[in-house]
Structure 1
Amino acid sequence: MKGELLLLSSMIFLLQGACGCPEKCFCHSSSNSVDCSHRGLAEIPPNLPPETLTLLLQDNQIYQLPAFAFRTVPRLKTLNLSNNSLSELVPEAFHGLQHLEVLNVTQNSLLSLESRLFHFLPQLRELDLSSNNISHLPTSLGGITDGIVCGSPDTWKGKDLLKIPHELYQPCPPPPPPLPPPELVFSQARQHDSEQGELPKSPEDHNVGRHDISECMVKPKPRPANLRHAVATVVITGVVCGIVCLMMLAAAIYGCTYAAITAQHHGRASAQTSESGKMGGKEPFDSLPA
């Protein structure tokens, strides 16, 4: 009898642990949401309630997602991982999230995105990748490439991303390497200080020089020449060249006309001179007496 009671109590304890709320998180049973935001977490908290529909993990220090990271919340629909230290998204990390609809990974350090990621998220309809360092998108996004719209800047907001020239974007500089978990930093600091005999440094010293991804402003490259401007330039150039050619033709005609008139004038003058010479030669004979 005592053994059965002990087994029953153990099962109740395990069920409470499995269905309870993780440490440092706030669980709202009315909305089936778990809020673990801004808690200094370095990994996904364990013992998430299986009925969770919304999981908030923004403003933490999560730098990687292991495979099957969300296997305990198969009904999850909304996942917020913004403002963490993620440098890549392993597709297997989202295995089992057949109902996930919204994924927010803004303000991380992502460099690329694998198309296999969407094989595990068949119901995904909203993906926010802003404020990262992604230089290119995969050639295939699981058949949803026609639905990608730009969220910022305001000039391109709401427009089809595939119709925006790539030359207008200047990716942010590569981010610093992700920081190791706080526990590892403290252990290394204690070990180093014990060897050198120095006082341990505060964890704030390890964040010196870390760049804020949100401060990286996207500066577009110089806009390529507009086709209308190019056509106008060609037309103006053609008109100018035509005017110059006409002026040269007019100058040539004027020169030829002037040369012809001058030659004709000189011809008449020489003819008159020769006639006057002949007349002058006959006068002495006419003046002689008969």
Structure 2
Amino acid sequence: MTGGLFLTLSTLLLVQAVSSCPKECWCDSHAKVVDCRGRGLYEIPHKLHAETLELHLQDNHIRGIGSMAFRETPYLRVLDLANNSITMISPSALLGLRSLKTLILANNSIREVDRRLLGSVRNLTHLDLSHNNIGGLPGALADSFHHLTHFSLHYNRLTKLDRTHLDSLGSLQVLHLTSNPWKCDCHMIGLKLWLETFTFKGGVVDGVPCHEPHAMRDRDLRHVPYELFHNCMSTSYSYLFANIQHIERQQRLLRGVPYPSLDAPLDQEPECEPKPKPRPMNLRHAIATVIITGIVCGVVCLMMLAAAVYGCAYAAIMAKYQRELKKREEEAGRIERENTGREREKEQLENAIA
């Protein structure tokens, strides 16, 4: 009797386990992993176990992800959708995945990322959007990723990246940005400042090689001198007072004063006006920079004053020399005339005696 009951329960559990694993996939009930790699799938499989922690769907033919596509797996931690043909993702596709840590969407055909899509997965630590056709990121992207440590954006169509996308990523350790057609103009000053601070604090960046303008092609943005951004009207001011702006922003947030929204429409942005966020360092750097600039300006002024004094002294000496030379010439002419007169008188006297 007991043996029959045990066999019945085992059979029921086996049927339940089999029914919770799609026939196209391989499932590990102990590790709670569902592996559907390279199975020729065109959509997200159904009948997934609710306690699934990892779902591997790479190397398939999935073209789109609909709303609430992963509602059967609310505890999902790893979702890998690399090497598919994804062009469309519903803004609510990831809704409910509050435990998701790793999201891999590499090697697809994604053109844009809706800010609502990633706003529902605020605990991500790894996000891979590489090898797509992404031309820009939503303004509020960074507000959702305070725990993000690895962020991959290489091999896309990004031409610029505002540092406001990165300022809130306080836990970021590795950032991949290479192989994008970066346009290194005034709008990239903010990113340059952020990258310098990020690498100084130990962050890893693979590189930001410029694609435009031609004079900067293949040069890493981090190593381009600020002097080459000569068309930027406020570059120097942005560089000197970046820390002051950062402190002002932090103080406004501490006081509860709302900071201008990143999504707020702008009336008209100048063609070459950089909009960098301040470097997240203390005020000493800005003060030291201002002091050094003052010292340099003072030295230049002293050199100009010395040159002016030297020029005036030289002019005075030359004038005095010319006056003395003219005086000597006049004196020599007077003596010569006197000698000539004496010689004539002498000749006349000799002629008279003779």
TM-score bracket, normalised by the shorter chain, equals 0.5 to 0.7
Going from structure 1 to structure 2, the CA distance change for 1:169 and 1:258 (only over 3 Å counts) comes to: farther
Q: Are positions 1:220 and 2:229 aligned together?
A: no
Q: Are positions 1:267 and 2:276 aligned together?
A: no
In structure 1, distance between residues paired with 2:85 and 2:115? 21
Structure 2 counterpart of 1:74: 74
Structure 1 counterpart of 2:139: 139
In structure 2, distance between residues paired with 1:47 and 1:129? 27
Going from structure 1 to structure 2, the CA distance change for 1:279 and 1:38 (only over 3 Å counts) comes to: same
Contact 1:48 1:73 in 2 (8 A): yes
Please report the TM-score for the alignment, with normalisation by the length of structure 1: 0.58
Structure 2 counterpart of 1:283: 346
Q: Which consecutive unaligned segments of at least 5 residues does structure 2 have?
A: 1-11, 155-163, 168-176, 183-206, 228-235, 237-291
- The root-mean-square deviation of aligned C-alpha atoms, in Å, is 4.4
Question: Relative contact order (alpha carbons < 8 A, sep ≥ 6): 1 or 2 greater?
Answer: 1
In structure 1, distance between residues paired with 2:144 and 2:17? 39
| 1:220 shift after superposition | 3.0
Matches within 5 A, 1:80-91: 80-91=80-91
| 1:41 shift after superposition | 1.7
Matches within 5 A, 1:200-219: 219=209
In structure 2, distance between residues paired with 1:147 and 1:123? 6
| 1:153 shift after superposition | 9.6
Q: Are positions 1:171 and 2:234 aligned together?
A: no
Going from structure 1 to structure 2, the CA distance change for 1:220 and 1:264 (only over 3 Å counts) comes to: same
In structure 2, distance between residues paired with 1:149 and 1:255? 73
| 1:44 shift after superposition | 0.9
Q: Which consecutive unaligned segments of at least 5 residues does structure 1 have?
A: 1-11, 155-159, 174-216
Contact 2:140 2:165 in 1 (8 A): no
In structure 1, distance between residues paired with 2:322 and 2:333? 16
Contact 1:133 1:171 in 2 (8 A): no
In structure 1, distance between residues paired with 2:146 and 2:330? 85
Structure 2 counterpart of 1:29: 29
Structure 1 counterpart of 2:166: 162
Going from structure 1 to structure 2, the CA distance change for 1:30 and 1:61 (only over 3 Å counts) comes to: same
Going from structure 1 to structure 2, the CA distance change for 1:101 and 1:150 (only over 3 Å counts) comes to: closer
Contact 1:88 1:113 in 2 (8 A): no
Structure 2 counterpart of 1:95: 95
Secondary structure of residue in 2 paired with 1:143? helix
| 1:268 shift after superposition | 3.1
Please report the TM-score for the alignment, with normalisation by the length of structure 2: 0.49
Q: Write out per-residue CA displacement over residues 182-230 of structure 1, whole angstroms, 9 at most, x where no aligned residue.
A: xxxxxxxxxxxxxxxxxxxxxxxxxxxxxxxxxxx97434334246xx9
Secondary structure of residue in 2 paired with 1:34? strand
Structure 2 counterpart of 1:128: 128
| 1:141 shift after superposition | 3.0
Going from structure 1 to structure 2, the CA distance change for 1:20 and 1:149 (only over 3 Å counts) comes to: closer
Secondary structure of residue in 2 paired with 1:103? strand
In structure 1, distance between residues paired with 2:32 and 2:136? 36
Matches within 5 A, 1:180-195: none
Looking at CA atoms only, which structure, 1 or 2, has the larger radius of gyration? 1
Structure 1 counterpart of 2:57: 57
Secondary structure of residue in 2 paired with 1:269? helix
User: What fraction of aligned residue pairs are identical, expressed as a percent?
Assistant: 31
Amino acid at match of 2:21: C
| 1:264 shift after superposition | 3.9
In structure 2, distance between residues paired with 1:34 and 1:42? 17
In structure 1, distance between residues paired with 2:133 and 2:36? 25
| 1:78 shift after superposition | 1.4
